[in-house]
């Protein structure tokens, strides 16, 4: 594992498109859980988080979620990032329009004049992620979004990292490092985002940063309860709380080569599949997979150079009380403390959207979005494609 020290919480690096002063950005995230769009606003100079603004989550309709799930299967045939087989081009257009609508809803609700926004950070929806093949595909039309909102957009932020030998993920560690610096404490801190896939950002006492995916997050649980009960997720871990752990299933998952490989790699949502539906009851399966999420995080954290003092949990998984109880149990074995992001004044639901706003600002300034210790890239790497709205779109009411 190669370590990185992000200088002064780093984030330093050569600027190639320098701008002066702080910028205001909106970040847009649709993650591996595929449940909706998170929208968040921040102000930053690309080094420090100067202000965290409001945030909003806009859920996808059930039928659109099903279309996204189908897109993952269709995407398996993709060999070039530009390919859009089947109805993926149509789906990309609809996804982009939904993101534009979410921003307009956000602006109306919080009385934000979009002309005051310097840039939008647009993640899009990952439909294929194969780091060993240097292939990652996020659908989402940056130019269409810029024109519909008359705001500049930075998108496609993972590709440059892959071109530099990285795995294209995770990219949020730059933001996590800035948040860790804002805490002003001399402890070993880990941010754990539990989305469809879980990932960890470790920030050492000296500012060293390491990051990697840890294994299944919510995706297997969501797939299990939808398969067994026809519901999209286990609200608050209520179903899991009624079940028992089937350790043989947990152990089988933990034997996967991913956990034995000393070189940490990023995961695709489909790298882990749910258990056979006949292998457990609804409740026992949900309980078992919740435990798997926690066990995966701690098994993968063995790759870190020191034991973590404080675990900061963000993403949808922190709402699952069963997962949180398991994390606290495992952390206590090493005198670690587990906190939800809100316990430290952060917003665990909007953190990734905030990160994408932060990354968009860094992209505009030309600062790195990734480092050898976060994605495995050869050197600190910036990235992202920048597009401005056409003059005609700026004149639209």
Distance CA 226, CA 181 (A): 40
375 within some domain = no
HSE-CB for 391 with a 13 A CA cutoff: 0
Are 84 and 216 part of one and the same domain? no
β-partners of residue 128 are 137
Placement of tokens 């995706």 in the chain: 219
Residue 354, domain member (yes or no): no
Q: Is there a domain that residue 365 lies in?
A: no
Number of neighbours of residue 307 by Cβ within 10 angstroms: 14
State the pLDDT at residue 17. Answer: 44
Q: What is the dihedral of CA 253, 257, 262, 264, to 10 degrees?
A: -70
Say whether both 117 and 179 belong to one domain. Answer: no
Record the tokens describing residue 378, joined without a space.
């050869």
Residues 131-179 have pLDDT tens digits of 989 999 999 999 999 999 999 999 999 999 999 999 999 999 999 999 9
**Do 135 and 236 reside in the same domain of the chain?**
no
Using an 8 Å Cβ cutoff, are 201 and 310 in contact?
no
359 domain-assigned: no
Entry pTM: 0.89
Which of 106, 105, 115 has the alpha carbon at shortest distance from 150?
115
CATH (domain of 302): 3.30.420.40
Quote the pLDDT of residue 262.
79
pLDDT tens digits along 300-322: 999 999 999 999 999 999 999 99
Residue 5 lies in a domain: no
pLDDT score of 16: 40
The CA-atom distances, in angstroms, between 71 and each of 64, 85, 87, 196, 370 are 10, 9, 8, 16, 28
181 and 126 together in one domain: no
> How far apart, in whole angstroms, are the C-alpha atoms of residue 176 and residue 158?
17
310-314/189-194 β-pairing = parallel
247 & 309 share domain: yes
Q: Say if 366 falls within a structural domain.
A: no
Q: Are residues 195 and 153 in the same domain?
A: no
Nearest to 300 by CA among 202, 234, 213, 368: 213
Q: How many helices (H) and strands (E) does the chain have?
A: 13, 13
Distance between CA atoms of 233 and 219, rounded to whole angstroms?
Answer: 9
In the DSSP assignment, the letter for residue 113 is -
Instruction: Name which of 319, 352, 337, 340 is nearest 218 in CA terms.
Output: 319
Q: Which residue has the tokens 């004149």?
A: 395
Helices (H), the chain: 62-74, 88-109, 142-149, 159-163, 173-183, 219-229, 247-254, 257-260, 282-300, 321-332, 351-365, 372-375, 391-394
Same-domain pairing of 49 and 158: yes
Q: ∠159-118-105 over CA atoms, to 5°? A: 90
Q: What integer pLDDT is reported at residue 394 of this predicted model?
A: 56
pLDDT score for 363: 98
Q: Identify whether the C-beta of residue 60 lies closer than 8 Å to the C-beta of residue 99.
A: no
Query: Which residues in the chain show pLDDT less than 50?
Result: 1-18, 397
**3-state SS track over 247-291:** HHHHHHHHCCHHHHCCCCCCCCHHHCCCCCCCCCCHHHHHHHHHH
Residue 202's alpha-carbon distances to 8, 32, 173, 328, in angstroms, are: 15, 21, 8, 17
Q: Examine residue 58 and state whether it is found in any structural domain, yes or no.
A: yes
Domain contains 356: no
In terms of domains, do 254 and 224 share one? yes
Same domain, 223 and 260: yes
Q: Is 334 in the same domain as 265?
A: yes
Cβ(293)–Cβ(216) below 8 Å: yes
Same domain as 49, residue 27: yes
Q: What's the domain range around 73?
A: 11-167+383-394
Structure token pair of residue 334: 């090493």
Burial of 183 (0-12, 13-18, 19+ CB in 10 A): middle
323 and 188 in a common domain: yes
Distance CA 211, CA 197 (A): 13
Count: domains in the chain? 2
Q: What is the pLDDT of residue 263?
A: 80
């Amino acid at each position: 594992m190669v370590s990185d020290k992000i200088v002064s919480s780093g984030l330093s690096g050569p600027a190639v498109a320098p701008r002066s002063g702080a910028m205001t950005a909106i970040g847009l995230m649709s993650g591996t859980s595929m449940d909706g769009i998170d929208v968040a606003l921040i102000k930053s100079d690309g080094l420090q988080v100067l202000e965290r603004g409001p945030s909003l989550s806009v859920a996808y309709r059930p039928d659109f979620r099903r279309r996204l799930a189908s897109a993952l299967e269709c995407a398996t045939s993709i060999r070039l990032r530009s390919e859009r087989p089947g109805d993926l081009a149509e789906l990309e257009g609809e996804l982009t329009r939904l993101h534009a609508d979410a921003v307009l809803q956000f602006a109306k609700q919080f009385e934000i004049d979009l002309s005051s926004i310097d840039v939008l950070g647009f993640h899009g929806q990952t439909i294929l992620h194969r780091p060993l093949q240097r292939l990652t595909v996020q659908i989402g039309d940056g130019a269409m979004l810029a024109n519909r909102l008359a705001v500049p957009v930075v998108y496609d932020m993972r590709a440059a990292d892959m071109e530099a030998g990285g795995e294209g993920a995770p990219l949020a560690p730059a933001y996590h490092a800035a948040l860790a610096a804002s805490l002003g404490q001399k402890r070993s801190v880990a941010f754990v985002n539990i989305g469809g896939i879980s990932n960890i950002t470790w920030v050492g006492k000296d500012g060293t940063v390491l990051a990697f995916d840890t294994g299944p997050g919510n995706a297997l649980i969501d797939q299990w309860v939808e398969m067994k009960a026809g519901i999209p997720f286990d609200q608050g871990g209520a179903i899991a709380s009624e079940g028992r752990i089937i350790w043989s299933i947990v152990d089988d998952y933990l034997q996967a080569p991913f956990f034995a490989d000393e070189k940490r790699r990023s995961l695709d949502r489909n790298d882990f599949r749910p258990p056979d539906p006949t292998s457990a009851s609804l409740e026992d399966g949900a309980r078992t997979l919740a435990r798997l999420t926690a066990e995966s995080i701690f098994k993968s954290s063995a790759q870190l150079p020191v034991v973590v003092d404080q675990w900061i949990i963000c993403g949808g998984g922190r709402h699952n009380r069963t997962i949180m109880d398991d994390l606290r149990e495992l952390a206590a074995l090493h005198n670690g403390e587990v906190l939800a992001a809100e316990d430290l004044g952060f917003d665990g639901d909007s953190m990734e959207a905030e990160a994408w706003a932060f990354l968009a600002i860094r992209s505009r300034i030309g600062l790195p979005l990734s480092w050898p210790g976060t994605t495995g890239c050869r050197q600190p790497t910036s990235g992202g494609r920048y597009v401005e709205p056409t003059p005609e779109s700026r004149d639209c009411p």
